[in-house]
Amino acid sequence: MSSTPDARIERIRASLERELTPESLIIDDESAAHAGHAGAREGGHFRVHIVSSKFTGCSRLQRHQLVYSALGSLPAQGIHALAIDARTPEETI
């Protein structure tokens, strides 16, 4: 499924806000930096900076799993790559 980067960002934002109730959420579209990359043709490259109390007590792997779980099927719908910076409110970005 192809869609505009803005639409993908809004779907990512809505999913993460609904499931992880972040105190801070920044989503960057880094697709332009990957132009010409074989896998970038159909999907975008995004970076997520998210601060949520739901990450308290979680390892880095568990935090990433929570983000992917919150996104559900979105990665298969136009997200080729996702970099995740997931922190608790006590940690700084």
Cα Rg of the chain (Å, integer): 13
pLDDT in tens, 8-60: 899 999 999 999 999 999 999 887 655 555 555 556 889 999 999 999 999 99
pLDDT category of residue 69 using cuts at 50, 70 and 90? very high
The CATH number of the domain where 64 resides is what? 3.30.300.90
Give pLDDT, residue 53.
97
Residue 43 is assigned to a structural domain of this protein: yes
What is the pTM assigned to this prediction?
Answer: 0.82
pLDDT category of residue 1 using cuts at 50, 70 and 90? very low
Give pLDDT, residue 34.
53
Q: Exposure string (b/e) for 25-57, b if CB count within 10 Å is 16 or more?
A: bebebebeeeeeeeebeebbbbebbbbbebbee
Residue-number span of the structural domain to which 71 is assigned: 5-87
Closest to 83 measured CA to CA, from 46, 41, 32, 29: 46
Residue 60 is assigned to a structural domain of this protein: yes
67-90 average pLDDT score: 87
Return the residue matching tokens 């390892």: 59
Strand segments (E) across the chain:
24-29, 44-51, 79-87
**Contact present, 24 and 49 (Cβ < 8 Å):** yes
If one counts the domains in the chain, the total is 1
The DSSP result for 29-40, as a single string, is E-GGGGTT-GGG
